[in-house]
Structure 1
Amino acid sequence: MDSPHRASQGINTATFPLLLLTPPILSPNGLQSALVACRCKSTSTDEQPETRRNLLDNASNLLTNLLSGGSLGSMPVAEGAVSDLFGRPLFFSLYDWFLEHGPVYKLAFGPKAFVVVSDPIVAKHILRENAFSYDKGVLADILEPIMGKGLIPADLNTWKQRRRVIAPGFHALYLEAMVKVFVDCSERTILKFEKLLEGKGLGGEKPVELDLEAEFSSLALDIIGLGVFNYDFGSVTKESPIIKAVYGTLFEAEHRSTFYIPYWKVPLARWLVPRQLKFQNDLKTINDCLDGLIENAKETRLETDVEKLQQRDYLNLKDASLLRFLVDMRGADVDDRQLRDDLMTMLIAGHETTAAVLTWAVFLLAQHPLKMEKAQAEIDAVLGHERTTFDSLKKLEYLRLIVVETLRLYPQPPLLIRRSLRSDLLPGGYKGNKDGYAIPAGTDIFLSVYNLHRSPYFWDKPDEFEPERFLAQRKSESIEGWAGFDPLRSPGALYPNEIVSDFAFLPFGGGPRKCVGDQFALMESTVALAMLLQKFDVELKGSPESVELVTGATMHTKSGLWCKLKRRTSVH
């Protein structure tokens, strides 16, 4: 059975980006903004009269000036911005204002002002040099009902404790063993495609049309299930009630962040309001599954030191999951609720990102047939008809660069969210104020990864798909505070990272709170892409323009990535 597309789960991904803006508007002081209500009904700027747009923008700017005070007064201001947000993903507008206002500017949005950062020098200051002066802010507000105190939304104290436990789990032998999981799950998807082709007749030579975004979503879910929980969702061939529950919780988080009155906090609302009852049922479905897995792991616990855990024979271990590692680690006793929060975080974050990376990689390759042929030639030379292994993965250099170039053009997520815990002085960045920008405690910051990755100041031909760019050194060209791009700065790394780019490339964040599962996600994407291109030629069903982009936690298509798959006739 085909997996349901994300849109079919009821999530309004077209408006999801704006939920990032609204939680501060629904803050405890009770300030509300009718401006948010206006955007819920709007789909295009052209659908509103010019006068209405002006009134909307003027009202927003007035509220911002009155309520946010002059604390950010030294920054350039993106005024008249609200109506520009209608009908397009938020990060497109943030990019336009970046080119107009510079690396650090204030976004005037109703009763709240946000600082938007589009510069690696400033990003490095926030993420690495002064990391513990910031927390996740708005993002934590949104994700806490779902992920609890998991690594992404956790407060700093909880994060420090859990990071020390979880990070060692993604060690080299575990990742090497996971390649087999990636291959096994990808083979299910490949087999499904081959059966569909055979059903077309003519020896499978007639192409089959598929929504590859939905297929990648199912594949990523199966990989996360086996690699993290030792649980087989089997979602490549059947519809999973767990993933329905996951999407249901995401939908409720959106609803809560855009609704004016937090009625769900009223006593008995969770039992009397149908959508709140459904939310509780969705959470129970997920929690029951995770609690059962945790209990099973604890019943077979083999407690030992972390060094010995990292030396296990993971290739021959029956249960090589991350959950097994966390439960067996000596001195890492933690209650079941915290383990549940950790697992939920990895389920949602790991599933969403990988599916999106694979979707956009195929989208880009389908528009560049010569690059697809080059990738297939490398796959043929390295793999032939054989299965992918950890050793062969290391030889697929061009394919790995395709994955990271995809993440540059379509970062997952396109925004990193932070809130200052104390006053700070941000650097001015390139072409910004040389004296920097003072910000008070409680300032909400959008680190625009999309802007960083497409900055014309730090990348040559930033909008073009050029995987080879990561092989070339780029000097800083007298940009004070930026060390330039040097592939040799991170020796031994399989994939380019924030170090080689000095924070101009942040696909997984940077500094202490960088994503712990980055190598897992990159290797998983590379293996799945290699196995797809090893067997099939891929074309877009329609034009590239017909693939409409929307965004939520990650960047998605609006209606799926519909492609034509045809079996390759020869392997060199």
Structure 2
Amino acid sequence: MATSHLLHAPTILINGGLRFPTNCCTNVSPSPLCHSSTTIPTLNFRTKGKGPSIRCQSTGTDGPKTRNLLDNASNLLTNFLSGGNLGSMPVAEGAVSDLFSRPLFFALYDWFLEHGSVYKLAFGPKAFVVVSDPIVARHILRENPFSYDKGVLADILEPIMGKGLIPADVSTWKQRRRVIAPGFHALYLESMAKIFADCSARTIIKVEELLERQDLHGGKEIELDLEAEFSSLALDIIGLGIFNYDFGSVTKESPIIKAVYGTLFEAEHRSTFYIPYWKIPLARWLVPRQRKFQQDLKVINDCLDGLIRNAKETRQETDVEKLQQRDYVNLKDASLLRFLVDMRGADVDDRQLRDDLMTMLIAGHETTAAVLTWAVFLLAQNPSKMKKAQAEIDSVLGQERPTLESLKKLEFIRLIVVEALRLFPQPPLLIRRSLTSDLLPGGHKGNKDGYAIPAGTDIFISVYNLHRSPYFWDKPHEFEPERFLAQKKSEGIEGWAGFDPSRSPGALYPNEIISDFALLPFGGGPRKCVGDQFALMESTVALAMLLQKFDVELKGSPESVELVTGATIHTKNGLWCKLKKRSDIL
């Protein structure tokens, strides 16, 4: 549940599609030195043969992309208005046309290979600093976290999430974080494991029933959009786990479910549209999609207000320590809302509680569905790794449902989830704005004196670039869940401590501490996602239960899957797969 960074897509992002290439140059791993290349590394695994291959989509000729008149005008305007503010920094003069041809984070990767780990991106009247280095990311996120806020992100999300954890100002965030974080304690997560399994079972039963009907007609497999199924599953889990409300979206559709999806689509629309037209006076009433958004928001807010009211009517106020010692496994209402309402000394108005719940609903739903989608996409192209995962599931679970204890033994499944987040981070960018002037470290191969930035500088921390950096990862574009088991030394990279699982003993999942900020699936520092373990465990249970029962193949080729970005990286037309009952179940 990426409550600290979901929807960190700036207003300059345009929702664009990328069809994975079918006839382009093959390249095993991009060289850090091939700066003249303008290619987009993408995964295109062979389903036959010994292992995966990597293909690249060319974005131009051997030289830099030819810019058109609009691009040149944009760069001149940027240089005139903001070119002198970041004088010592390498400059990537953006092509405005890139905004419409492909997701921006692919272009950011090209420029990262060409200009280095810290560079200025010039787009129209605005300049951004793009960070693709763990040393610099650590400086911003952990060492100086309150010298930066969410900038344009808060402006986009405030009408939807109010003062929830993502868009909240620093003072509000500090107060709410102190209240919310204790709610994600060990006994709560243990009880959530049962909810994860119960909700996942709904999806399993649905698939089994579809297979039974298909079998009556002479078929032994079904075709299903797993992205849509994962989206419904994630919504049900968030509803029950966070505010004790059963959406039942796996098997039915209701006005509240339609409103939730309408709000999700609008949140993504706002994060990917160039001009914030919704701020124009009367737009909320004159523009049809904005009228619908206001209606959807009212439906959800009325529902949340009712849940908050009911929780307060049955309030049992007590201290945090006693709340954390409740019998959550047998508690009728083990939701986070119940914890927040019953916490002594944490009285807050209904509006703030509603903002908190709305933030978790939006953030927790979208991210988990995307993680599961790409995990299946990757596994379907690697039959040997899918079989390895199923063998672990059979050994640990047999035909039983996962529990917190058995989840701890599903090591390979957990690593698959994290590797999917490495290759397809949700979201691919984190947004920050400097509140004061600062001196950024130069990072690996950057200026040793660092880079001075003035107050008000907008920064993109490119998680996608970090996760696929050839400097910090071996075979960065390949799907290798086992990579997290081995220590990786810093190999002479000054200021980076390397990858070492022993730095975070007892951690179920690799994190930013183990990787020294080269892996940021949930951000890092004080404003790291408060629900990271919730989301990771939820994804692990759902993936394990799917593979426990079914074999999964892509309906078409990997190249037929179109990728688009907005709040998260997702598919354009769904992840259509073939599912059939496993024939090798013990």
TM-score (norm 1): 0.90
Aligned equivalent of 1:367: 381
User: Which digits, 9 at most, give the CA deviation of each residue in 1:507-537, with x for residues without a partner?
Assistant: 0000000000000000000000000000000
2:212 aligns with one of 191, 194, 198: 198
AA partner of residue 71 (structure 1): N
Instruction: Report the Cα distance in structure 2 between the residues aligned to 1:264 and 1:474, rounded to whole angstroms.
Output: 48
2:91 aligns with one of 73, 77, 84: 77
Distance 1:536 1:184, change over 3 A: same
1:453 aligns with 2:467: yes
1:152 aligns with 2:152: no
1:19 aligns with 2:11: yes
Instruction: Give % identity.
Output: 85
Q: CA deviation at 1:347?
A: 0.3
1:227 aligns with one of 241, 247, 250: 241
SS for the counterpart of 1:502 is coil
Instruction: Report the Cα distance in structure 2 between the residues aligned to 1:256 and 1:535, rounded to whole angstroms.
Output: 39
Distance 1:204 1:442, change over 3 A: farther
The aligned runs of 1:360-439 (5 Å cut-off) are 360-439=374-453
Q: Give yes or no for contact 2:390–2:548 (8 Å, CA) kept in 1.
A: yes
Q: Give yes or no for contact 1:45–1:84 (8 Å, CA) kept in 2.
A: no
1:483 aligns with one of 497, 514, 533: 497
Aligned equivalent of 2:187: 173
Q: CA deviation at 1:251?
A: 4.3
Instruction: Report the Cα distance in structure 1 between the residues aligned to 2:174 and 2:149, rounded to whole angstroms.
Output: 12
Q: Give yes or no for contact 1:81–1:107 (8 Å, CA) kept in 2.
A: no
Distance 1:145 1:194, change over 3 A: same
Aligned equivalent of 1:113: 127
Q: CA deviation at 1:232?
A: 0.2
Higher relative contact order (CA 8 A, sep 6+): 2
SS for the counterpart of 1:78 is strand
Q: CA deviation at 1:388?
A: 1.0
1:521 aligns with 2:513: no
TM-score (norm 2): 0.88
Aligned equivalent of 1:510: 524
SS for the counterpart of 2:556 is coil
AA partner of residue 406 (structure 2): S
Q: CA deviation at 1:423?
A: 0.3
1:464 aligns with 2:478: yes
Aligned equivalent of 1:209: 223
Distance 1:398 1:205, change over 3 A: farther
Q: CA deviation at 1:123?
A: 0.2
Distance 1:457 1:362, change over 3 A: same
Q: CA deviation at 1:279?
A: 2.1
Distance 1:224 1:251, change over 3 A: closer
Q: 5+ residue gaps in structure 2?
A: 1-6, 15-57
Distance 1:338 1:17, change over 3 A: closer
Instruction: Report the Cα distance in structure 2 between the residues aligned to 1:241 and 1:401, rounded to whole angstroms.
Output: 37
AA partner of residue 562 (structure 2): E
Q: Give yes or no for contact 1:54–1:80 (8 Å, CA) kept in 2.
A: no
1:329 aligns with 2:359: no
Q: CA deviation at 1:415?
A: 0.5
Aligned equivalent of 1:101: 115
Instruction: Report the Cα distance in structure 2 between the residues aligned to 1:418 and 1:330, rounded to whole angstroms.
Output: 34
SS for the counterpart of 2:97 is helix
2:80 aligns with one of 66, 70, 74: 66
AA partner of residue 58 (structure 1): N
Distance 1:344 1:320, change over 3 A: same
AA partner of residue 152 (structure 1): I
1:185 aligns with 2:177: no
The aligned runs of 1:263-282 (5 Å cut-off) are 264-266=279-281, 269-282=283-296
Instruction: Report the Cα distance in structure 2 between the residues aligned to 1:256 and 1:478, rounded to whole angstroms.
Output: 42
User: Which digits, 9 at most, give the CA deviation of each residue in 1:360-382, with x for residues without a partner?
Assistant: 00000000000000000000000
SS for the counterpart of 2:101 is coil
Distance 1:242 1:53, change over 3 A: farther
Aligned equivalent of 2:304: 290
Q: Give yes or no for contact 1:538–1:564 (8 Å, CA) kept in 2.
A: yes
Q: CA deviation at 1:465?
A: 0.4
Structure (1 or 2) with the greater helix fraction: 1
SS for the counterpart of 2:68 is helix
Distance 1:262 1:174, change over 3 A: same
Instruction: Report the Cα distance in structure 1 between the residues aligned to 2:330 and 2:387, rounded to whole angstroms.
Output: 36
1:558 aligns with 2:543: no
Aligned equivalent of 1:28: none
1:245 aligns with 2:245: no
2:314 aligns with one of 300, 317, 325: 300
Q: Give yes or no for contact 2:148–2:434 (8 Å, CA) kept in 1.
A: yes
The aligned runs of 1:342-361 (5 Å cut-off) are 342-361=356-375
Instruction: Report the Cα distance in structure 2 between the residues aligned to 1:451 and 1:124, rounded to whole angstroms.
Output: 15
Instruction: Report the Cα distance in structure 2 between the residues aligned to 1:501 and 1:254, rounded to whole angstroms.
Output: 30
Instruction: Report the Cα distance in structure 2 between the residues aligned to 1:253 and 1:198, rounded to whole angstroms.
Output: 38
1:441 aligns with 2:455: yes
Instruction: Report the Cα distance in structure 2 between the residues aligned to 1:546 and 1:390, rounded to whole angstroms.
Output: 37
More moved, 363-372 vs 255-264? 255-264
Instruction: Report the Cα distance in structure 2 between the residues aligned to 1:532 and 1:281, rounded to whole angstroms.
Output: 36
Instruction: Report the Cα distance in structure 2 between the residues aligned to 1:243 and 1:59, rounded to whole angstroms.
Output: 45
User: Which digits, 9 at most, give the CA deviation of each residue in 1:170-209, with x for residues without a partner?
Assistant: 0000000000000000000000000000001259971100
Tell me how large the CA RMSD over aligned residues is.
Answer: 2.1
More moved, 454-463 vs 140-149? 140-149
Q: 5+ residue gaps in structure 1?
A: 1-14, 23-43
In the TM superposition, structure 1's runs of 4+ consecutive aligned residues that sit over 6 Å from their partners are none
Distance 1:245 1:52, change over 3 A: farther
